[in-house]
């Protein structure tokens, strides 16, 4: 796990100015790779790298890294879990390796298979920049740079492109690009409005107007004559997996344990993390290292459940108590770390800090299990046509309109912000409405008030954010599988994965997510919808794949999720945080005060009030 940065300078050879620019970006994301730093300059390209050494801890694995003759170079962030298989195949084809790192399969694999052949073979989490200088070295002036991300978008990559100068600049974080001093600082108000509508900034936008997020499963290629972006994989293109889900899960966890440094497991006491821990314990001979955080607030504390499961699998278990005082002391650093506005992430920040204090560099997480195996309550309601969401989804359209209008009106009268999300159902397709009812953040009227924007502009921002998801093909029938796809592309990618990467890497910790190994995702997509949910237990097909009595017992309990006593902590510091939020100039002060008033009165979720603090911190 590392930080990458670089520049493609169009028609001009890169020189000291470009090297200094890349150096500033590396310095801004030094936390992503405190173990080493490197630069490579050739022709129009500068590649930079900050290293967190995980596999092959020697200097042989330093980056940027090249093939044998230095004609193909790469700077890489992530892990290639099948690199040993790829390495053997490449050696059989005559390639010579100078390290034992997973990075080196990239330049050799590109030489052997081309960019498409390489990407189709990679199994892992990655973002990388690969520079092909072979033609330039032969006197043909067509060097090409590729930027690529893994299929699920686990590892981030951001870029800015100036078509007039034909110059591309990229980095692992938005703040690193800003630190280059080569990117205008204009705020993207449309993206900020979308954040307030959805709880996170939707890709490919960022909160900076000139900076874009490279989409998951995409490759961008640039030469002196063109710049092209394309997708190389989608869920719809997923190959049929004939292997049992149990075998794929076991193989995914086994590959994610590969490292030359200690590996731990985040164990919350829930189904997903327990499943990962159970499979990991089967793969290693020494006791597995697990950790959980505990709280004095009993309603949020799952330490006993985690302790019980750790004892069952014979793990070396660690509990780290976290208090409200520690939260208050860490708020300023958390906000300084933030790269894009998010309504979440504090839980990952806290548990990642605990893991680093234990001396861990790598941890496995159960993140993604709910999205892949239908763990959320709204999946049950949609599939079984039960509960409020199920009723709404299958009601006649006229009844839906009447219910939505009444709910939105009730929200205005009673001040209950969750009912206000029914505003989103007006004039939208059914599946779009269902998604926004579940994942909508502020109701549109409150977004208008907070940003002093006309409702039409808020609606335009939301439409722009949702445009890549092609709701136009909606036939008016509730589609849980389509809802799952949106969960993965929006909520999982834009919020959970983005937060997990950022707030683990700020502690120089690599977080791995085996439950969203793309082969597991592909296989889980083939499970019939009615088999993905059960009245008896949560995520039945995941539980069936890992026979364990205690795991089955956990799955029967009411789902809690890994949450902190954040509401309680926030109320203890409410006045101080509200005053901080009011210092900003982006949000309407009256609307900010109203948010905090509703939060104190129990009429608004804590994340809404917290988001005003988040936006204030990014404006400083």
Per the domain annotation, does 587 fall within a domain?
Answer: yes
Please give the Cα distance from 380 to 559 (Å, whole number).
13
- Identify the pLDDT of residue 418: 67
Residue 107 inside a domain? The answer is yes
90 with 170, same domain: the answer is yes
- Give yes or no: residues 85 and 114 share one domain: yes
**d(Cα 435, Cα 558) in Å, to the nearest integer?**
23
pLDDT at residue 470, as a whole number = 64
Cα 387 vs. chain centroid, distance in angstroms? 30
- 49 and 174: one domain? yes
444 is a domain residue = no
* Chain segment 559-575, per-residue pLDDT in tens: 655 567 888 889 999 99
Rounded Cα distance between 348 and 335, Å, is 13
Q: Say yes or no to pLDDT of 619 above 80.
A: no
Please write the tens of the pLDDT for every residue from 150-207. Answer: 999 999 999 999 999 999 999 999 999 999 999 988 999 999 999 999 999 999 999 9
Domain shared by 132 and 213, yes or no: yes
- Write down which residue in 233, 266, 281 finishes a domain: 233
Q: Is residue 539 part of a domain?
A: yes
240 DSSP assignment: P
- The torsion of the CA quartet 301, 596, 201, 188, rounded to 10 degrees, works out to -160
Count the neighbouring beta carbons within 10 Å of the beta carbon of residue 520.
25
Active site residues: 2
Helix (H/G/I), strand (E/B), else coil: 588: coil
Q: Looking at residue 412, what is its pLDDT? A: 61
Give residue 327's domain range: 245-373+499-563
Would you say 63 and 50 are in contact if contact means Cβ atoms under 8 Å apart? no
Token couple for 518 = 């793309």
Q: How high does pLDDT run on average in the chain? A: 90
Q: Does position 407 have pLDDT exceeding 80, yes or no? A: no
The yes-or-no verdict on residue 549 having pLDDT over 80 is no
462 domain-assigned: no
The domain total for the chain is 3
pLDDT digits (tens, 9 = 90+) for 371-385: 999 999 999 898 988
Each residue of 253-298: pLDDT tens digit?
A: 999 999 999 999 999 888 999 999 999 999 988 889 999 988 877 6
Tell me, yes or no, whether 191 and 173 share the same domain. Answer: yes
Residue 158: the pLDDT is 98
Specify the CATH number for the domain of residue 223: 3.60.20.10
The whole model's pTM is what? 0.94
Q: Cβ distance 48 to 38 under 8 Å? A: yes
Q: Are residues 273 and 184 in the same domain?
A: no
Query: Is position 521 within any domain?
Result: yes
| Residue recorded with tokens 């993965």 | 488
Looking at the fold, whether 79 and 202 belong to one and the same domain comes out as yes
Q: What is the CATH number of the domain that holds 318?
A: 3.40.50.620
């Amino acid at each position: 796990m590392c930080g990458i940065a670089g520049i493609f300078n169009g028609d001009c050879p890169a020189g000291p100015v470009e090297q200094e620019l890349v150096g500033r970006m590396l310095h801004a994301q030094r936390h992503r790779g405190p173990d080493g730093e490197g630069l490579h300059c050739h022709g129009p390209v500068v590649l930079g790298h900050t290293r967190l050494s995980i596999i092959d801890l020697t200097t042989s694995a330093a980056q940027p890294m090249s093939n044998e003759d230095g004609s193909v170079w790469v700077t890489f962030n992530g892990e290639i879990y099948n690199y040993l298989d790829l390495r053997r195949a490449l050696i059989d084809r005559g390639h010579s390796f100078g390290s034992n790192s997973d990075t080196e399969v990239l330049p050799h694999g590109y030489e052997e298979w081309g960019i498409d052949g390489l990407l189709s073979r990679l199994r892992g989490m990655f973002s990388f920049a690969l520079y092909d200088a072979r033609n330039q070295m032969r006197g043909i002036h067509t060097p090409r740079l590729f930027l690529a991300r893994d299929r699920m978008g686990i590892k981030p990559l951001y870029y800015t492109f100036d078509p007039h100068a034909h110059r591309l600049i990229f980095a692992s974080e938005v703040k690193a690009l800003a630190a280059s001093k080569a990117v205008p600082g204009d705020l993207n108000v449309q993206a900020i409005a979308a954040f307030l509508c959805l709880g996170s900034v939707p890709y490919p936008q960022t909160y900076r107007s000139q900076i874009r997020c490279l989409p998951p499963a995409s490759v961008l290629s640039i030469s002196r004559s063109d710049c092209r972006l394309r997708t190389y994989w989608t869920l719809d293109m997923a190959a049929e997996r004939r292997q049992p889900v149990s075998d794929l899960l076991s193989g995914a966890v086994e590959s994610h344990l590969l490292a030359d440094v200690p590996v731990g497991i985040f164990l919350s006491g829930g189904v997903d993390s327990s499943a990962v821990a159970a499979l990991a314990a089967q793969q290693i001979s020494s006791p597995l290292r697990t950790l959980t955080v505990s709280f004095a607030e009993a309603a949020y504390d799952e330490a006993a459940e985690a302790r019980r499961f750790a004892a069952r699998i014979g793990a070396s278990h660690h509990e780290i108590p976290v208090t409200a005082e520690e939260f208050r002391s860490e708020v300023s650093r958390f906000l300084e770390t933030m790269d894009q506005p998010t309504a979440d992430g504090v839980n990952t920040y806290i548990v990642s800090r605990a893991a680093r204090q234990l001396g861990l560099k790598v941890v496995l997480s159960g993140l993604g299990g709910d999205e892949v195996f239908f763990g959320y309550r709204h999946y049950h309601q949609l599939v079984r046509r039960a509960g409020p969401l199920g009723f709404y989804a299958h009601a006649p359209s006229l009844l839906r309109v009447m219910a939505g209008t009444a709910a939105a009106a009730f929200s205005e009268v009673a001040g209950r912000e969750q009912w206000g999300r029914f505003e989103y159902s007006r004039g939208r397709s059914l599946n779009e409405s269902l998604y926004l009812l579940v994942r909508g953040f502020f109701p549109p009227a409150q977004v208008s008030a907070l940003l002093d924007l006309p409702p039409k502009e808020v609606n335009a921002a939301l439409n722009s954010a949702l445009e890549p998801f092609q709701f136009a093909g909606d036939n008016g029938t509730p589609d849980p599988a389509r809802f799952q796809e949106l969960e993965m592309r929006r909520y999982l990618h834009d919020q959970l994965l983005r937060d997990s990467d950022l707030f683990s890497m700020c502690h120089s910790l690599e977080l791995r997510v085996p439950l969203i190994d793309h082969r597991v995702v592909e296989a889980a997509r083939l499970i019939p919808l009615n088999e993905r949910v059960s009245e008896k237990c949560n995520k039945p097909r995941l539980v069936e794949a890992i026979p364990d009595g205690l795991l089955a017992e956990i799955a029967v309990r009411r789902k809690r999720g890994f949450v902190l006593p954040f509401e309680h902590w926030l109320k203890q510091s409410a006045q101080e945080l509200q005053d901080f939020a009011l210092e900003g100039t982006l949000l309407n002060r009256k609307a900010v005060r109203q948010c905090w008033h509703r939060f104190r009165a129990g009429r608004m979720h804590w994340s809404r009030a917290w988001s005003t603090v988040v936006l204030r911190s990014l404006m400083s």
